[in-house]
Amino acid sequence: MTDAGAPPDPDSAGQAGNAPYRVLARKYRPSSFDDLIGQEAVVRTVSNAFETGRIPQAWILTGVRGVGKTTTARILARALNYEMPDGSVKGPTIHMPTLGVHCQAIMESRHMDVLEMDAASHTGVDDVRQINDSVRYAPASARFKVYIIDEVHMLSTAAFNAFLKTLEEPPEHAKFVFATTEIRKVPVTVLSRCQRFDLRRVEADVLMKHLASIAAKEDVEIEPEALGIIARAAEGSVRDSLSLLDQAIAHAAGQVKADAVRQMLGLADRTRVIDLFESLARGDIASAFKEFRDQYDVGADPIVVLSDLAEFVNFVTRVKVIPATADNVAYGETERVRAKEFASKISMRVLSRTWQMLLKGIAEVQAATRPAAAAEMVLVRIAYVADLPTPDEAIRMLEQNGGGSPVVNGGSSARSGAPAASVASAAPMSAAPVRMPTASAPAFGGGARPQMAAPAPDTQGAAPQLRIASFTQLVALAGQKRDIMTKSALEGDMRLVRFEEGRLEVALEPNASKTMISELAKKFELWTGRRWTVIVSNEQGQPTLRSVNQAAKQEHARTAEADPRVQEVLSRFPGAKVVEVRRLAPETPETDINADYGSDDPPDGSDGDDL
């Protein structure tokens, strides 16, 4: 973007005549501090330095590629030498509303008093000696001689040493501006002689506004979602974002749509990536395989699919930690809404393990001879292994089984965080046991267990009719079926109004998902072998199970704090407080309604007070 006083660009008039095309990154290169985006700290510091006359002899600019280091160096050189033909400007200034005497030549890198050197191709001590020899001479026409050295970290050790004396005590008419992407490779002796500016990555929403203004100037129609994709792909680099916008305009040959940008970048459809994540959340490997293969068949790179999946997992995690993250306009409406839904249902433990497995899986796919097959195996691993118990949960499971191996329903391997004893100790729901496959547990807990091949009839949940006597038994069944989203919704989003066998009437919390109700009856019928009716009531209903558990937990803490022994301990440690109450020897297990198949609640159904 150019300032108001810049001369007309030969390419700005619709590329008329035989004028060669200039890429957007060069055409809209900033020429004043007003045009810099996302670098307010640098502009404020330089402005204050100019106004108070505290101008250092050397600056060093660092940051990622394309963030504007060389451009900022040229703007600094222009501000140092800004001069109007009538002599109205007497010294350096950041206010440059119109072109001065030296501005055009400086911005085009052809001013004789502003010398630019690429240290990547001039690394030797001889190149620095030339600067040392010329720096003693006064500028020919400008106020200061300015030396701009790009990629300064490429200079050799001898070249740096040759620079030190000149850099420490340069003539009053000489200024140095260094730029580098590898600040750690610059010797400390050089850094100590420079004023350092760290140019930050430009935020995605700021980039979107910048790209939208440029698209408007170029008379290009572009969807906001497409702008968001480009801004995220640029990773904070203004030059990269403009290059991608240039490429997107050429690729679309008309209105730039989000699908065209995804196709250009080789990205998977974000909605389909979220659908893939949801399939894994349900533990539905067959659906996950089909979704992945559909994306692969239309040209999506397996590595890109997994990378996008990892990015969405990271986004869900950030939304879970900081809910305001979901308001970032750089993400599409669908991503934000569904991320908030997942963040409320999936525990941090599951999200962090999924991220770790994706990170390792991406590296494996990159090294694999058959990337698609390797990616499928990563999906299998996520669904089957991501809910391994933490060490304390594993110890608890062993203790509750009397030191033996954890089992579920008399033999299946329990590889989730839910202790087998809690499942076995639940009140009997039917004379016939709930059939569970012996395969490893899914990552998030879905309705039916993930199946790699055609499953046997008894592994699909089509068990003999199962009698459910209470709402808590229904919640325990959801946990036993490893359906984390359903279990979490029953515990935290629904208030029981009436319960009868085959009929559930509930009131919904304000933040409850409305789409869950339509699926509950089908899931209950699949699990119990009998028809169910699920009704949403306008009555107040009972408190949610999660609120009851939290109240009980708080009551246990208050009771513990009232104990004289605890009060004595607290008095000796100022600021200490009771965080959790545990029993060393558990009493007779009660009906488990909080088996931890991915939720943040304690896995033994007792709110953490009976470990």
Please tell me the predicted confidence (pLDDT) of residue 30. Answer: 86
Q: For position 40, which CATH number holds?
A: 3.40.50.300
Is the model's pLDDT at 602 over the cut of 80?
A: no
The answer to whether residue 435 sits within a structural domain is no
166, 198, 230 - which closes a domain: 198
Is the model's pLDDT at 8 over the cut of 50?
A: no
Separation between Cα atoms, residue 466 and residue 86, nearest integer Å: 94
Is the model's pLDDT at 188 over the cut of 60?
A: yes
264-314 pLDDT, tens digit per residue, is 876 666 778 888 888 887 777 888 888 888 888 877 788 888 998 998 999
Is the model's pLDDT at 593 over the cut of 50?
A: no
* Strand-pair partners of 116: 148
Is the model's pLDDT at 391 over the cut of 70?
A: no
Structure tokens, 462? 């089509």
Based on the number of CB atoms within 10 Å of its own CB, is 97 exposed (0-12), middle (13-18) or buried (19 or more)? exposed
Whether this prediction's pTM lies above 0.75 is answered by no
236-245 pLDDT, tens digit per residue, is 888 888 888 9
Residues 140 and 121 in one domain: yes
324-347 pLDDT, tens digit per residue, is 888 877 777 778 888 888 888 888
The answer to whether residue 433 sits within a structural domain is no
- The kind and range of the H/E element at 258 are helix 258-265
The answer to whether residue 244 sits within a structural domain is yes
- Place 589 in a pLDDT band, splitting at 50, 70 and 90: very low
Is the model's pLDDT at 579 over the cut of 50?
A: yes
Residues 54 and 177 in one domain: yes
Residues 65 and 127 in one domain: yes
- Place 178 in a pLDDT band, splitting at 50, 70 and 90: very high
Cβ-proximal residues to 250 (8 Å cutoff; 6+ apart), any chain: none
Please give the angle made by the CA atoms of 583, 585 and 590, to the nearest 5 degrees.
Answer: 85
The answer to whether residue 598 sits within a structural domain is no
Residues 92 and 241 in one domain: no
Residues 152 and 36 in one domain: yes
* Strand-pair partners of 535: 505
Residues 238 and 372 in one domain: no
The answer to whether residue 353 sits within a structural domain is yes
Structure tokens, 604? 């033994």
Residues 209 and 241 in one domain: yes
The answer to whether residue 330 sits within a structural domain is yes
Please tell me the predicted confidence (pLDDT) of residue 34. Answer: 83
3: left (phi over 0), alpha (psi -120 to 50) or beta: beta
What b-and-e string marks burial along 458-477, b requiring 16 or more CB atoms within 10 Å of the CB?
ebebebeebebeebbbbbbb
Is the model's pLDDT at 35 over the cut of 60?
A: yes
Residues 43 and 178 in one domain: yes
Q: For position 354, which CATH number holds?
A: 1.20.272.10
Provide the percentage of residues in the chain whose pLDDT is more than 70.
Answer: 78
Is the model's pLDDT at 444 over the cut of 60?
A: no
pLDDT averaged over every residue in the chain: 76
Is the model's pLDDT at 413 over the cut of 70?
A: no
Separation between Cα atoms, residue 343 and residue 391, nearest integer Å: 24
Please give the angle made by the CA atoms of 295, 291 and 277, to the nearest 5 degrees.
Answer: 110
User: What range does the domain containing 59 cover?
Assistant: 31-198
Going by the DSSP 8-state scheme, the letter that residue 575 receives in this structure is T
| Rg (alpha carbons) of the chain, rounded to whole number | 32
The answer to whether residue 487 sits within a structural domain is no
Overall number of domains in the chain: 3
342-358 pLDDT, tens digit per residue, is 888 888 888 888 898 89
Structure tokens, 162? 């040759």
Residues 54 and 152 in one domain: yes
Residues 144 and 85 in one domain: yes
- Place 148 in a pLDDT band, splitting at 50, 70 and 90: very high
First to last CA, the chain: 63
For the chain, how many residues are written? 611
Based on the number of CB atoms within 10 Å of its own CB, is 104 exposed (0-12), middle (13-18) or buried (19 or more)? middle
DSSP string, 521-552: HHHHHHHHSS--EEEE-SS--SPPHHHHHHHH
180, 198, 216 - which closes a domain: 198
- Between the alpha carbon of residue 573 and those of residues 576, 580, 605, the distances in Å are 6, 17, 31
Residues 297 and 148 in one domain: no
368, 385, 402 - which closes a domain: 385
Is the C-alpha dihedral spanning 588, 593, 597, 602 positive or negative? negative
Residues 224 and 101 in one domain: no
- Residue type for 580, please? E
- Residue type for 188, please? V
Separation between Cα atoms, residue 388 and residue 397, nearest integer Å: 12
3-state secondary structure of 422: helix
Q: For position 222, which CATH number holds?
A: 1.10.8.60
What b-and-e string marks burial along 535-567, b requiring 16 or more CB atoms within 10 Å of the CB?
eeeeeebbebbbeebeeebeebbeebeeeeebe
The answer to whether residue 323 sits within a structural domain is yes
* Strand-pair partners of 117: 149
